[in-house]
Structure 1
């Protein structure tokens, strides 16, 4: 298995790319380009969870949802609220 050497320049470039992506997401959010309601597939991708985990989050009431004609929608603000209230704090 070949190995790669990561230099400080590589890390600096990665940091700049990451900061650019975060800035882009924040600009989209402040401009209202992030949709208010998301479908299940979008939420699974966003949270990196399986369909079963998403279903469990619905069933146990962790993640509020709305069902319209067989399609389940999630409020993006509610998702953010759930993530914020369940944030683990590591106080050393």
Structure 2
């Protein structure tokens, strides 16, 4: 069995690589948070709801949307507002 020793230089290279990976991941997370408009698929995943439930939210006016071509878009702030205030069963 061969034993490899980790030198200080090896450790510093690993540390630098981990910092680089962390910064890369943080950048991806902040890009998602900066996203203002979400497509239907993203909203359904975020809320854990079916396409029919999302349609009901649109129809009864609980969740405002914009239709561009064949795609529906929802403001992230409207989704947060819906979650914080609920629809009070209306």
- Unaligned segments of structure 2, at least 5 residues: 1-24
Residue 78 (structure 2) aligns with:
78
Residue 37 (structure 2) aligns with:
37
RMSD after superposition: 2.5
Greater Rg over alpha carbons, structure: 2
Moved over 4 A (4+): none
Distance in 2, matches of 1:62 and 1:87, equals: 6
Higher helix share: 2
- CA spacing shift, 1:76–1:87, aligned 2, 3 Å: same
Residue 4 (structure 2) aligns with:
none
Residue 69 (structure 2) aligns with:
69
Q: TM-score, normalised by structure 2?
A: 0.60
Question: 2:62–2:87: 8 Å Cα contact kept in structure 1?
Answer: no
Residue 6 (structure 1) aligns with:
none
1:87 positional shift:
8.3
Q: TM-score, normalised by structure 1?
A: 0.58
Alpha-carbon displacement from aligned partner over 1:23-53 (angstroms, at most 9, x marks no partner) = x9xxx4xx56421000000000000000000
